[in-house]
Structure 1
C-alpha cells in the first residue's frame, strides 16, 4: 500500500510503482479498447481513413510524450503539467496549465461513467442507467481509497483482459476478411489512403478527434512521487504507453475498416464496432466486446480519478487550492480521500446531468492545452534556463510537439473552443481573487 511519510512540512508518497506498472497505468487510462468510444463518428469524419488519422495522432503525441518524460525527469513530483509549467515558465501560468488539465482529468472519469453505464444498461436493462452510474462510481472510488498499489494491481488484471479481447476481435476480423467479408483482402492501402475520398481537412479533423484515445499517457507523470526511479522510468513509460497504445488503436481501426468498408451504413455511430463485431464473430463476440467496454470504464475511471485527486493534492500543497482540504490524507489508507470523494461526486452528477457528446468535445481542449504548455516548458527550462544547447533534444522536438498540438487545437470545433475558453476565463477570475490581482506570487514548490 502506498504509505505517506509525514516527516517535514509536506506529506510525501511512498515509491512503489515500477516501469511496467507505469506503462500499464498509462495504457489503462487510454484503454486498449478506446476506438470503440469514437469509431463511428471518427470513421465518417475521416471518410474511411481512421487508421491514417490514428497514425498522425500517435506521431503527434510521441513528441509530447517525449516532453512529458523530460519534465518528469527534471521534476519527479506530483502535479504533472501544472508543476512543470509552474517551475519552468511562471507560477501564474502554471496555474492556468493546471486549470486546463484539471478540466481534462475531471472529464475522463465522468465520460467513462457515462459510457460504462450506457453499455451496462444495454447488457442488463433491469438495472437503470443511473443505477449503473452509482455502482461503477462506488467500485472505482472504493479501490482508489484503498491505495494506488491496489489500483495498480487491479489495472494489471483488467488491462490484460481487455488486451485479450482486442486480440480476439482482431483475429476474428482477419478471419472474416479472409473469408470474403468487406474488402476480402487483408492487405489494403485504402484505410490509410483512398484517392477517391482523401481530404486533408478531414484527416486533420479526424486526427484531432483521435487524440481523445491518447489522453492518458500524460497521467503517468502525476504519479512521479510514487514511482521507483522516476528520472529514468517516467519518460520511458510515457513514450512506451503512447507507442503501444497507438499501435493497438491503428490495428483495430485497420481491421475494422476492412470488415466494414462503408462507414456510412452503421446502424448507429455510437455502436459501430459492435456492428463490426457481430459481422466478424457473431453475437458472442459482440457480447464479449460489450463486457470489455464496461471493463474499460473501470480502468479509465480508476486512473482518471486517481490522477485528478493527485493533481488537486499538488495544487493544494502549493496553496493554489485550499490546503487544509486538498492535502488531507486518510490516516489508515494514506490516500487523498477527500479529493477522491470530491471527484466521485463531480463525476456522478455530471454523468446524470450532461450528454456524453458534449463532455467528449471538451476533453481534447484541456489535453491539447496541457501538451502545448509542457512542450514549451522543455524549451524554456532546458534550452534557455539551463542553457543545454542540444538543439534537437531540447528545442526542435518539443517545438514540433507544440506546433502539431496547436494545429490540432485550432481545428477543434467552435463549441469546444468557446466552452474551453470560458473555463479558462473562470480560472482567470479565480486566480485574480486568490493572488490579489496577481500581486501575490503563488507559492513555489520546494526542492528545485
Structure 2
C-alpha cells in the first residue's frame, strides 16, 4: 500500500498573510524601543523612521522579487540556495534560525516579565510555560486559526495607536511650524542615521511571510503584495505618532530609557491610557509569539524536507492538521530557555540572524536576475542591481554596528553550522558509497541443495 504524501494546506489569501506579518512585526514595538531610539536620534524620531523605512524598502523589494522567482517556503534559505549555492543557502538558513528560534523565546520572556510585574505573586516562569503551551496548541491546529487570532490582536494594536494619536492631537497647542519634525537641521545627519539603525529593528518581520508561501494561494502575486502592504502600514503606524509627538512635545526627558514608551503614554493620556497600554502590549507580545512559532516551524520543515536537517524529524507533517507538529514542539521546548536566558542575549541572536539573511537575499537578486537571467536593461539594472546593492550595503553597515559579543556569538553559530553541514554531507556520501558497493558487489547467496 502506497503511503500518501502529506503537504502543507494551501489556504491563505492576501490579508491573512498581511496579519501574520504584522503580528510578527508587532506595531506596539514602537513604544518598546521609544526610549533608546529617542535618545540615539536626539529626539528626531520622525526623520529617523523615514530613513529606516528607506533602508528597509530596498531589502523588502528584494524579498518581493525572490518570492516571485521561487514561490516556495523557506525564505532567505531557499532564495540563496537556489540562486547562489546550496552550501551558502544552508549557512544563511542556519543564521536565519537564530532570528526565528529566538523570536518566540523573546515573546515568552517579555510576556513573563510584564505579567509578573502586573501580578507579582505569580512567578514569571509560570507565565512563560503557560504561553508556550498555548502557542503550541494554536499552531498545531493550523495556520488559518493563527491568522484569525492575529487579525483580531493586530487590529487592537492599530486602534490603540490611533487613540494615542487622538490624545496627541488634543495636546497640539502653539505649534511653531507643522513641518518642523521633518525640516529641522540642528541635529547632524550622522546622529539621525544612528537612530535609524536602532529603528530598523521595528520593521523586522515583514520577511516572515515568505516562510508561508506554500500555504498561500497564488503565492507569486500574494507574497510580494503582502510584503509591500506590511511595510507601508508599519511606516504609517510609526511615522504619524512620531510626527505628532515631536509637534506636541519637542523636548522630553525620561526617568528610565527602557520604560520611556510607558512614560510617554502616561504623559499624554494619563493613568487610564497607560493601563490600556499595558493590556494591549501583552496582547501584542502574545500575537508576535503566535506568528513567530508558525514561521519558525515552517523554516525547520523546509530545511528538513531538503535533508539539510534530519528529515525524519523536521521534514514531516501531521496527517490530520497538515502542520509540522514535531517542529512546533521543538520550537516550544527551545523557547523554555526563556527561563534562564537574558533578554539582551536573545535580542543579539535575533539581530545577527536577521541582518545576515537580509544581506544575502539582496545579493541573491543580483546573482539570479542580473547575472544568471541577464536582465540588464536600464530599468532592470536599477531594480536588480542598484536597489539590492543599496539594500545590502545599508544592512551590512547595520550589522557592523552590533557589539563585539553579538558578532562573536553569531560567528561561532555559523562555524557550528559549517561543521554540522560538513559532517552531514560526508555521512550522506558514505551512505551513498555503501549503497553503490552493495549493488556492485551483492552479498553471496547460498543454496540449500
TM-score (norm 1): 0.90
Q: C-alpha displacement at 1:199, in angstroms?
A: 3.5
Matches within 5 A, 1:161-176: 161-176=156-171
Q: C-alpha displacement at 1:295, in angstroms?
A: 0.7
Q: C-alpha displacement at 1:371, in angstroms?
A: 0.9
1:146 and 2:141 are equivalent in the alignment: yes
Matches within 5 A, 1:38-437: 38-178=33-173, 185=175, 191-192=181-182, 194-196=184-186, 198-263=187-252, 265-349=253-337, 351-389=338-376, 390-436=380-426
Deviations 1:55-91 (A, max 9, x none): 1111111111111111111111111100010000000
For the residues of structure 1 that align with 2:176 and 2:120, how far apart are their CA atoms? 37
Q: C-alpha displacement at 1:249, in angstroms?
A: 1.5
Q: Which structure 2 segments of 5+ residues have no match?
A: 431-449
Q: Which structure 1 segments of 5+ residues have no match?
A: 1-6, 179-183, 441-448
For the residues of structure 1 that align with 2:229 and 2:306, how far apart are their CA atoms? 31
Q: C-alpha displacement at 1:267, in angstroms?
A: 2.3
Q: C-alpha displacement at 1:423, in angstroms?
A: 1.5
Q: C-alpha displacement at 1:174, in angstroms?
A: 2.2
Q: C-alpha displacement at 1:150, in angstroms?
A: 0.3
For the residues of structure 1 that align with 2:58 and 2:298, how far apart are their CA atoms? 24
**CA distance 1:11–1:362, change in 2 (3 Å):** same
8 Å Cα contact 1:10/1:317 also seen in 2? no
Residue 447 (structure 2) aligns with: none
> Which one has a bigger Cα radius of gyration?
2
For the residues of structure 2 that align with 1:337 and 1:438, how far apart are their CA atoms? 26
Deviations 1:188-234 (A, max 9, x none): 556446544x2444333322221211110000100000111111111
Q: C-alpha displacement at 1:156, in angstroms?
A: 0.7
8 Å Cα contact 2:158/2:237 also seen in 1? no
8 Å Cα contact 2:175/2:248 also seen in 1? no
8 Å Cα contact 1:174/1:186 also seen in 2? no
Deviations 1:320-364 (A, max 9, x none): 101001022223222111111111111122x22122122223322
Q: C-alpha displacement at 1:123, in angstroms?
A: 2.3
Deviations 1:116-174 (A, max 9, x none): 22222222333221111122222211111111010011111111111111111111122
8 Å Cα contact 1:177/1:186 also seen in 2? no
